[in-house]
A and B are shown apart, each in its own frame.
Chain A
């Protein structure tokens, strides 16, 4: 016989937390997928050529003659430009995250595990980079080395490595003190092997979640760069460029600036919500939780 009625259970802390997580992940996933799926499927979807100009339909409002988002000042279909531009932005974002993620985790682990001089050098590098005015530095690099996609991706990766490095370093510092590490030392496992086989696997899932959050940042950074004119050059139509080109027409054709901005916002918010939701456990468990939660409430046994 239980005093816990259904209504009481529904209000319990654990159920509310699970519900909040579920909501976050679902909403986040929806927002992200709304943006990402069309972008990935761009070539398959019946959209006009993003570079096809139409002199007679310049600055057309959304919905005019099959142009879902309207057209820009050269008559190019905005929806199509956003999709294809998104491909470039996402590509850069993913590349940047992979590079900065790997770089950050590796350097952070080494710094946290070995301490001493290794840590001193890496930590100073982190601090130095964090103290630099980032956007200025990136503009400088692009000015020096050109604005091809690899350069931009590399530059954004370099910009983002300190965060995963700091987080990984902190997590490794904590793991290092745990008795199972001492147990491995006593067994005779080599120090580097302990880092590789014991410490890193225990911190990696947290780092992966952070990488997801970095994706949003990378996309934002890329947009900022192309907005300032330092992004991939024409004919690539990245989001930042579209917004930048549309500045002059804010009054007459608001959709050129606003819609790409909304798309960026959806992606960033969506990814951040997913990351938040996942942070409550390991990535694997979270995916399992996601699958379960979409289908049922936490059960009463």
Chain B
């Protein structure tokens, strides 16, 4: 006897069709253990983001690129400088939560509070202070590596130029940051530094006025240096590091100068 078909169920009661990646009727493909469940959750989050941004290609392009044979520890100096910058950025943001750019004595008092009273303040201020020196040392070592390995040559000249701008900005960070503790050393070192700027012919006197915010070292000098130190230059540095990294990835890393270039077999055939 042929069986009559079941009467149609209402839409709401019909079973949903299986979605891709679901377990089948026998339970195959279904995550079993906690570890599998956790992996599955992670994968689905990443999938959700990647489906909407297509970022994985770019990240793979940035992180999984081919590097020449013979690279060595000297090639890590650029990354080291960047991590020194990140250290400065993170510790600087948290120092800014306590610091007051008040030339009438509040600045010195707030730095004293950070150093003596705030929990871990001495550590965070120390990281920022010593990290500044570390960043300067690393950026010069990185520059020396690029120079002595000849890595600034075609097609990487623009990467070098941006690197030099980053060096100048980093030194400007050192100059503006030096005033902020507002003790005797900061004050007189900044007076001397501003007067060195004033020594440039024609524009020097006006450059010094711009840095001071007037004819004499005044109330706005400190807040000016603070704004330049924590807003203007860090933004420029972050943007230029991004461009620098883009160029490094786009152009690839140069081989060490002691490696001889290998002739490509397919190029050899076309050589006349």
Q: Do A and B bind each other?
A: no
- B interface, CB within 8 angstroms of A: none
Chain A residues at the B interface, C-beta cutoff of 8 Å: none
